[in-house]
Amino acid sequence: MYPNGTPRQAKISHLVTHGSEPALRGILLGYPRLKNAHGAPISLPLSACRPASTMAKLDILEFPDPRLRLEAKPVEAFDSRLRQLADDMLETMYEAPGIGLAATQVNEQKRLLVIDVSENHDAPMVLVNPELLDARGSEVCQEGCLSFPGVFADVERKEWIRVKAQDVSGKPLEIETDGLLAVCIQHEMDHLIGKVFVDYLSPLKRSLLLRKLEKQRRKAG
């Protein structure tokens, strides 16, 4: 997803992390209110825990690639390959630049997404096997998508959500949030079921937007 609006704080609970584990390589770390098992805030700078040499930029599928319609499968193996994929997705998202990326968009059919809605791009989140537990209200937000470069549209989303997921090492976490983070999580979770933001538009708005997308592509060469 492309950035838009101002991020608000999320309440993240039930998160247990242990400072000495390799899982602390910065993948899940750094959301402003994340705390470790002892209640201390986790604030490792991204650069301290993500050695650049181990990351690779991935190709992002662009609409109307049919692989964007594939449904992701639950992650069962919380291994080094998953951590590498999450690292690579974060790298790809930051370089795009974007604020969210789902595994589906890099042709990996896994229920995995990465997000960073912080102003300084120093608060990466990795959500594995996310599930919506509760949602309230509605709000309209202008959204963009890394699979639709250069076009934006208003989409109605739930205003507040509660989501459970696992971190990259398999530990459970729960997030209650609203604002930009809530919109971003909903947008990225849609990708995992093969849904994209233009699916919410009326046929007319959708065709106008897709025509604009074509124009942008021709301009980009």
| CB of 112 closer than 8 Å to CB of 127 | yes
Q: How far apart are CA 53 and CA 163, in angstroms?
A: 33
Active site residue 119: no
Report the nearest approach of Zn ion to the CB of residue 155 (Å).
11
Which residues, 6 or more positions from 27, have their beta carbon under 8 angstroms from its beta carbon?
Answer: 50, 83, 86, 87, 90, 124, 126, 167, 168
> How do strand 148-157 and strand 160-166 relate by DSSP bridges?
unpaired
Range in contact with Zn ion (rule: CB under 5 A) among 29-37, 107-115, 139-147, 175-183: 139-147
Tell me how long the chain is: 221
Q: Does 68 bind Zn ion (CB under 5 A)?
A: no
As measured in angstroms, the least distance from the Cβ of 37 to Zn ion is 33
* Among 68, 93, 127, 145, interactor with Zn ion by CB under 5 A: 145
- At its nearest, how many Å lie between Zn ion and the CB of residue 44? 27
Q: Is 182 in the site for Zn ion (CB under 5 A)?
A: no
> 112 pairs with which residues across the strands?
128
Q: Which stretch binds Zn ion (CB under 5 A): 32-40, 44-52, 107-115, 143-151?
A: 143-151
Residues that bind Zn ion (CB under 5 A): 145
The residues annotated as belonging to the active site are 188
